[in-house]
A and B are shown apart, each in its own frame.
Chain A
């Protein structure tokens, strides 16, 4: 995510970061302090603060750690013996007042609110009128309307400006109100700010963080219950705002409906008759089944799926509806039904030739080889279509590793069949991989070399050794792969009408 990149390393611009010692009372959102994480101190940015059971807690993002490791911490994990970095002020001369106000406001109001709303998000970023929005209302950049991108993190650069109307200290607001107000304030900043202030903000704001929608950076769900598992969400997902109060959100394993209360969920379970994803089974072997689901026909189910997967995918947008996508869902089967393990979505028509939009193995099934099966299946579909495919970018860290592993295995296996010669395009054609991905893989494995005035592909000893080890492992555990014979599928054809999003 671009905004965070900027926050990590303040670009090439040598903006002197103001540092200093802080007390618990002067800590505020945007402050970067050292926090104890797994036995070591890491620099972390405070993204949100609230009071739980009378004690202040902080939502922190560790620098150079993925956002999924962001967490709520108690104050005692913050190392106040070391200097903290103050957030870049909007205007240096006004900084004093900002700090002063900030120092008092949160603690005061939090103490008053501590019983009322346990999970109240104190989202006061800056109570000074200087903190203004970069964008005028209605000018927030929209994502491209044309592409069917599902994968892109939206750069809706709105910003937190609920400080514009200083909150009375004694006012108690419940969480919903605060968030609504925040959203409203972001979109429509009050007219207190002068034009100069806005321009100044536009010019000076080095960190995009301030322009980022703060709410969506903080995870909104504590925990979800699904099937046999309780899972900790990784990222924000726009489930109903009411669930912020819930300790646990219950998700039905089959219809993926969501409930904030166990009673409701149990009632639902007595009524729900779905036992597998609501589409056609297009692949079945003794291990998994694949179902194909049209976002247009199964709008509710696909929306539920997207909400769920957004909890674990950072670079996914639910900005637009599910209509232009097909969802390929992988399930394991038992007497209970078909348990959703993972899925990938695919544009009905991809302008860029992507064969996967979003891909996810649910966290409870990760590190079991399901990801590779999903990827293999996506390439199997591409082979059936007679096209080369590549996953939509950006990839997540886990996505990159998953794909690299699959690519390596596929290409090395192909080369080890005893070939004397190979060309990169042919390798791509047999595997339905794009030329670029083949090149990427070979290069990454240090297999492309220059020898005797020509380029050669080298099956390095390391690569061979790695593959042998893998094969040995497969012999013990059993190799899981996709059998093209079992795929009962023809590439679906969509008329122009069904590809559009008419309702």
Chain B
């Protein structure tokens, strides 16, 4: 009793379905108020609809069985159901004793349609018709029931395919001619003899039914609004919404699997190739060894036989690889001349250090000067071409008119290209008024300019010191002299001191420059002179600069001033 009290003081533990519970007989358990226990066990639903759970007969049976469970002796109750009684039909006739049970379990896959023969079954009306019809006919041509059903079934099926919506739109009954045209293997030859006679009977039956099929059929969905509420519509197709959902997920999975497979295939292919390569290498090694062995053998034989010859060609597989020619980077050098500075090539293209094929400085310099000369020559030609048909009337031109076929060789090479090409005419009388001149660079080449003054103005943005200037003078006795200024000797020239000393006084002394800083070729002075001759137009000067830029795209200053090759310094 005390135990019971303490037991109740504590909350009961929850029932665990995983826990082992002792199985006891009733006398082993204390008599308790059982509803205590029930409190802590989740109430399990019966699974019957709530509305039906309260039904009289069910409740009666349940309470009876509960009474039985708790020890009462109650007569078994049944839920009353409508009756099933023995039929008056002759079962033995309808269901003959045909069945013999096979020794093994039955395996069967034929369908109902395979097993029931002709689906049309004669009605009592049909029986009456057939009876009278056969009476009229002679004994020789009696229509059997099977033939009759065959014909009726054919009519039914054919009209169904011809008028699938006969029940809805009430078309006239299909004519016999139409049906006859459809005769096929489903209607046998003997049955066809009666088809025309049976047709009238069939038509009458159809008309009685409102041209609906004679065999009652289930109502399937017609995809109309009425379908849902019509209790007779059954066996609807199930929608595949859920399937589509999984299909989307499946597609993802498939993609992943495909990708995995592809990757695995690739890895496998790689491994196969590696294996092949190794096999080839092994074969090659074997081959080499064989060759070596045989050559040794040959050598031995040669030695034995005393044949003297060059063993080398026998023993070495490969000819010594021809030494790679010291590749002079002509292209790079040439590229460098007009302004694209050759990058310092410390390595050969194959990556090795530049030590074996040394480039000689003399060679390089010769090439360079050759290139420069070629460049000058080229520009000279261009300039002459450009001046064809023009007469230079410049008074004391700063840039003297070029002599025809000036013997270039007579001058020492000038390491500059700044005087070339001759800038285009700065102005023309027609162009002066034409604002569009600058926009029409193509017109520049047309020989309609009539420049009276030709000049080459060193642009403002090049420092004065860097500008090279030349002047030709005709001296006494017809000597032609070129004065130059600002020309620097090429630094690449490795001129020793003695040689340098020789030229010490050949150039204009720097003191001169300092003493007479006014330079008549200075922009200011040139401009001044231009202004004297014409009312200067700044725009023209700019346009000219632009044109110049358009013509050439060499290494230039911002304003288009042609700068010497950058590698010169």
Contact = CB atoms under 8 A, between A and B. Distances in A.
B219 A461 contact: no
B229 A156 contact: yes
Interface string B129-159: 0000000000000000100010000000000
Given A187-B229, A241-B232, A456-B21, A265 B121 contact: yes
Q: Which of A142, A268, A301 has the most B CB atoms < 10 Å from its CB?
A: A268
Nearest to B229: A158
A269 B48 contact: no
Nearest to A363: B84
B439 to A, nearest CB: 74
Nearest to B117: A271
A454 interface: yes
Nearest to A249: B216
Contacts of A451: 24, 29-30, 32
Nearest to B95: A336
A106 interface: no
Interface string B47-75: 11111101111100110011011111000
B48 A397 contact: yes
Contacts of B230: 183, 186-187
* Interface of chain A, main secondary structure: mixed
Given A8-B51, A264-B121, A273-B115, A458 B24 contact: yes
Given A158-B228, A301-B111, A435-B17, A230 B116 contact: no
B112 A238 contact: no
Interface in B209-226: 216-219, 224-226
A118 interface: no
Interface residues of B, number: 119
A187 B231 contact: no
A425 B118 CA distance: 55
A187 B226 contact: yes
B127 interface: yes
Contacts of A338: 99
B71 A394 contact: no
Given A241-B232, A452-B3, A320 B113 contact: no
B105 interface: yes
Contacts of A233: 82
B327 interface: no
B516 interface: no
The 4 closest A-B pairs by CB, nearest first: A5-B51, A158-B229, A240-B216, A216-B231
A232 B112 contact: no
Nearest to A397: B58
Interface stretch (A22-30, A97-105, A108-116, A495-503): A495-503
A276 B106 contact: yes
B309 interface: no
A275 B145 contact: no
Contacts of A494: none
A462 interface: yes
A395 to B, nearest CB: 4
A1 B235 contact: no
Interface stretch (A63-71, A198-206, A373-381): A63-71
A184 B226 contact: yes
B203 to A, nearest CB: 19
B87 A253 contact: no
Contact of A448 (B15, B20, B100, B217): B15
B217 to A, nearest CB: 6
A215 B230 CA distance: 9
Given A69-B80, A450-B37, A396 B21 contact: no
A398 B240 CA distance: 34
Given A363-B82, A458-B29, A440 B44 contact: yes
Contacts of A300: 111-113
Contacts of B26: 458-461
